[in-house]
Chain A
Amino acid sequence: MQAFVDGLIAAGWFAALPTQVVYALAMLLAGALVLFVFIRLVAGSTTWVERRIWARIHSRVGPNRVGPQGVLQWLTDGIKLFMKEDLVPAAADARLFRLAPYVVLMGFVATFAVIPFGSRLVIAEMDAGLLFVLTVTSLIVVGILMAGWASNNKWSLIGGIRAAAQIVSYEIPAGLSILPIVLMAGTLNLQELIRQQGWAPWEWYVFANPFAFAAFFLFFTAALAEGNRTPFDLPEAESELVACFVTEYSGVRDLMFFLVEWGNLYVIGALVTTMFLGGWNAPVLSNSVAVQTVVEFLVFFAKAYFWVFVAIWIRATLPRVRVDQLMSICWKYLVPIAFANAVAMAVWVLVFPSGQPAVAAVMTALGGALIVAFFARVAFHLRRARVRSRQRLTLSPFA
């Protein structure tokens, strides 16, 4: 983005203003655009998408009243929450209680400073970008602990402490599964990571070698746990803890927590796409910069949103793990596997410093075979499924 602003300044657009003020205004504008246009729209509409997909998986109808197929449900929900009273319990610590949602929101929104939307659409091309994302998300933990304590409620406190313990634990396998990719790419810059990959699947890092493939699954699992998603949504555990650290919140502050929860899904998807799935790389379709930028944005968004869909699918399918299982999954399985994987990747990089195209081709073929086998299995079970009702079995969520 800096290059773009530099171009505008050089063209004499802001002759009256000092350069620094122009930069500051550009930063504020970009932040506002991302927050108010992109994040709100994506996080908000994801609530509707999630409820519709669950409904389909659970054989229910789901929200379908507001707008065609209920697409405006999230807007009405948001407006409703804006209208509600912003309650602060009498026994709560009012200052920290009011501050906590902002800390959580800050940790989430800051990730968009480095998350790219296209080869030219990125706010800051930061050199330590990947580390920056890991870092600012730790503010979410602080905010959650703050909310849990300030609510002065047993459920909130237990939920907050559970969430914090979980996020802090799963940061380790997440970090260790990023390490193989960093070893392979030799950079922490998100844009540079994407540039080193190509648009074709055999150029993606996920299929570069077996260790990157393993790192992909390790990272996605750990990221789900960090985002407090099923099967790791213990902090929320509605049946045990009411609504965890959000129990006492109402109105806009409640909305902020939910914005972060659903927005985080997109952040997970964007990170997976950036590191493993070739990011915004698209075949050159047009000589026009604008058209190509739109294509890149769509490619990146489609890949990232696919993983949002997978997370929703997992949430509708899998049961929740127990606390002891949660900790043993992390410390007894994910951490040692991720460690071994990182060491193996270091050896691999030492042996093949410039990659091994033959292995990448074989891995891509295997990955393709896996996907084909999966769909063949699903089709097999769909054929065998006996449909008891008079309705035909349909896969479309809009049927």
Chain B
Amino acid sequence: MIKIKNLSHIYNIPRRDPIIALKEINLEIERGEFLTIIGSNGSGKSTLARHINGLLLPTSGDVWVKGMNTKDRECLWKIRQEVGMVFQNPDNQIVATTVEDDIAFGLENMGIDRENMLERVNWALQVVGLEEYRRFEPHLLSGGQKQRVAIAGVIAMHPSFLILDEPTAMLDPRGRKEVIEVIKKLNQEEGITVIFITHLMEEVIESNRVVVLNKGEIALNGKPKDIFLKVDALRSFALDIPQITELAFRLNHKGLKNISPSTLKVEEMVEQLCLYV
């Protein structure tokens, strides 16, 4: 479990005014959850993520991972093994010359024996669906595939929690789909707790819970269905409403009460519209 209590973070940049990136955040993340953190640029999403594995330390407040405080230097390495992190740009995360070497990199640093390492690499390759690419040079892969290599490298270390900081932002729609599918699978089949960060509303649909950040504070916290009901609030946080949700919202307001204003998927909308037209 992850527990965040009264967490604030202030960036002190020399010769500039301090920036308050996080203000009194309180959040608990349970095992097995698929939590999405959404917010526009500058809302504090990435800052929050970096607190969960101790890349940043609180200006005030505390963060505990499985009871270990990130301020406790003794625990830092243990925490980072428990909380794996995948970043936005796949090119910045790949270090080795072949896919399998790249996935093994973290394991080598952990001093895992060869047999165990092979087993873990094979498992990770299979989970992200890249078995036939194991001997490829990473630069020959597509963006979506590279991002899956980065994910494989992290899960090979068997973390309990996986944080993904806008892993789809630099990908095309096909790459996006691939990555989302893998994340879903990791959560549902492998039982990894997922903390997924995005600024795209379309991508929150698969998660159990959504936290909306606005200007460093938690503005909304709830199930996707309930969050999507708050179209006006979301818009005021500079978030985009998917076309379908916007259409459902408008039609509902025009008196079409059988159309739920929190419709998220095209198929749902089609079903509901069939009642009317």
| Genuine A/B complex | no
